[in-house]
Amino acid sequence: METSKNTILITGGGSGIGYEFAKIFSENDNQVIVTGRNEEKLNKAAASLKNTTAIAADITKEEDIDRLVQIIAKEYPNLNVLINNAGNASYYDVLELNTDAFAKASDEINTNYLSIVRLTEKLLPILNAQKEAAIVNVSSIVALVPSKTLITYSASKAALHSYTQSLRIALDRSPYATQVYEIMPPLVNTEFSKEIGGENGISPEVVAQDLLQAFQENQYEIHVGQTSYIYELSLSSPKDALLTMNSQS
C-alpha cells in the first residue's frame, strides 16, 4: 500500500490516536479528512495540520453516516483509505452493583463494532472503485485476550477482530484491490485512556508510525509495543496470556 497520494478518512480524528494518524499521513502528502462528534475539536485539529479537512459526524447515528457518505461521494470520490478509529470504552468491575453493564455494552458494541460495519458497508463501493485502497480497523489486544475490567469493551473488540478477518478474506477472494488492516495498540497515553492509567501507556505517535510502516510492508495485522508479547503468549499459552493481561488491569 502506498503511503502518499491517498485520500484518507479517519473517524475520531480530532484527538488521540486518530489525530496522530491524521498528522503522520498529512505530512506524507496525503489528503486527510477527519470526522467526529465534536466540531470545535475537529476544526482545531484540522487547522493545525496541512492537507486536512474536518467534517463533523457522529458515526453511531445512521443519519450522520448517510450525510458523511454523501459528502465523500460528491467531494472526495477518490477516497481510497478508511481508518475506523473512533471508539468507546467503559472501565468497571462487573461484580459491583449498579454498574449498568448492559447500557455500557450497548454503547461499546454500537460504537466499536456496529457503526464500523455500517460505515464500511456504505463506503465500500467508493473504496472498491479505486486502483488501490485500504480499510484500517483500530482494534485492541483485548480482542484476543480479554480484560476483566474492560469486559464488554473486550467483547466489542473481539467482534471487530472477527469481522475484520472475514472482510479481509472476502476482499482477498474478490476482484477488488481493497486491503484490510487491523492495528492492535496496547495502553496508549491519550485522554481516551486516562481513566485506566493512560499516562503509563505508549505515545500515540508510536501507533501512527507503526501503521505507516505496516502500509509500506503490507503487514495486515499490527501488534504495537507490548501487544506483540501478549499476542505471542496467547499462542503458546492462552492461560498465561489471560493471567498476564489481568494482572495488569
- Based on the residue annotation, tell me whether 153 is a catalytic residue of this protein: yes
Place of cell 475537529: 42
Cα separation, 181 vs 223, whole angstroms: 11
**In what side-by-side order are the strands of the sheet with 81-84?**
52-56, 31-36, 7-11, 81-84, 133-138, 178-184, 221-223
Cα separation, 10 vs 161, whole angstroms: 18
* β-bridge partners, 8: 32, 81
- As given in the structure block, the three cell numbers for residue 114 are 456496529
| 62-75 helix and 115-128 helix, angle to the nearest 10 degrees | 20
- As given in the structure block, the three cell numbers for residue 136 are 484500517
Which of 228-232's residues contact partners 24+ apart within 8 Å by CB, and which partners?
A: 230/141, 230/144, 230/145, 230/186, 231/141, 231/144, 231/184
Of the residues 113, 153, 181, 220, which is catalytic? 153
Cα separation, 230 vs 134, whole angstroms: 26
- The torsion defined by the Cα of 116, 226, 213 and 119, in degrees rounded to 10, comes to 0
Q: Calculate Rg over the CA atoms of the chain.
A: 17
Residues taking part in catalysis: 153
